[in-house]
Amino acid sequence: MKKYGRATLAGEIVMALFCAIFVIPIYYLVVSTFKTQAEIIASPLGLPKSFDLSNYFRAFRTINFTQSLFNSLLITSVSVILIVLFGSMAAYAIARRNNKLTIFLRNYFLLGFLVPLQVTMLPLFLVMKNLHLINTYQGMIFLHSNGAIFAIFLYNGFIRAMPRDLEEAAFVDGASLLRTFWQIVFPLLRPVTATLVIFNTMWIWNDFLLSYLFLSSSDKATLTLQVYNGVGQYFTDWTIMMPVLVIALLPMVIFYLIMQRHIIGGLASGSLKG
């Protein structure tokens, strides 16, 4: 028993050290938002002389917070809705139809899922340019909606594990295919839908690469892109940069804390389905 107690204590110490390693950058970020430029350079991990919110007010004015927040919310929300709609409907058709076409589509989507985005970056840029979708909300939503490919595979596993009794009963009662899907099948997909919504929301909100490549005007910039715009070529004002980082991260931190139980429930449900 004593040996087990020592092992447990040693494990807790190791875990505490790992937690400290991950907490230190967050502490440094938050504390630096209250410091002057000289304090940030002279004492990176020290406490500020006074907790002044003036850096946050300057950051709000610099990044045009209201417009940037609207851009992030619009692109993220519409993209996630399209991912759920297209992913669930395509997965239902593939899971409930076993023919050459659905097998081809399954393999086709798998091939697209395996190809890295960096490989297709140049042809993707040319396609977006020819379609006049660069620096537009529609273009960013179109790009992020490719998350529906992953949604197809996740939904497909859930749907294939579901019994068909309720669907067959609905068909016998005269329900159409769309009505059967939306009123019977889709409500049963709530755990996996919640998981997809959470992970895709966090991915799209925090995405930098696509925003950097396909958004060029400041009035279309997302909060994440505004962080990069604050980096100067020869000088970076850290008293603005640090608050901007906190402002960009805070909505997702709040979102994650609220939706955390749905993440755990969705993953647990997925393990039972598998």
The mean pLDDT value for 208-232 works out to 82
Residue type, 134: I
If 0-12 CB within 10 Å is exposed, 13-18 middle and 19+ buried, where does residue 96 land? middle
Q: How many whole angstroms separate alpha carbon 48 and alpha carbon 69?
A: 28
- Which three-class secondary structure state does DSSP give residue 8? helix
* Confidence category of residue 234, pLDDT binned at 50, 70, 90: very low
- Which three-class secondary structure state does DSSP give residue 216? coil
Length of the chain equals: 274
If 0-12 CB within 10 Å is exposed, 13-18 middle and 19+ buried, where does residue 153 land? middle
| Higher pLDDT, residue 268 or 32 | 32
Look at residue 88 in the predicted model and tell me its pLDDT. 92
Look at residue 130 in the predicted model and tell me its pLDDT. 92
Q: How many whole angstroms separate alpha carbon 129 and alpha carbon 131?
A: 5
Q: Which sign, positive or negative, has the C-alpha torsion 114, 147, 152, 254?
A: positive
Residue 262 has pLDDT above 80, yes or no: no
DSSP-H helix ranges across 97-189 = 100-114, 121-130, 137-144, 148-161, 165-172, 177-180, 186-188
pLDDT in tens, 64-99: 888 888 999 999 999 999 999 999 999 998 888 888
Residue 231 has pLDDT above 70, yes or no: no
Look at residue 194 in the predicted model and tell me its pLDDT. 87
pLDDT in tens, 161-202: 888 888 888 888 888 888 888 988 998 888 889 888 988 998
Contact 215, 225 (CB under 8 A): yes
pLDDT in tens, 104-115: 888 888 777 777
Look at residue 83 in the predicted model and tell me its pLDDT. 95
Residue 274 has pLDDT above 80, yes or no: no
Residue 208 has pLDDT above 80, yes or no: yes
pLDDT in tens, 215-225: 888 888 898 88
Look at residue 267 in the predicted model and tell me its pLDDT. 53
Give the global pTM. 0.82
Look at residue 273 in the predicted model and tell me its pLDDT. 47
CA 123 to chain centre: 24
**What dihedral angle (degrees, nearest 10) is formed by the CA atoms of 10, 15, 21, 25?**
-150
* Domain 63-273 top-level CATH class: mainly alpha
Q: Which sign, positive or negative, has the C-alpha torsion 210, 212, 217, 220?
A: positive
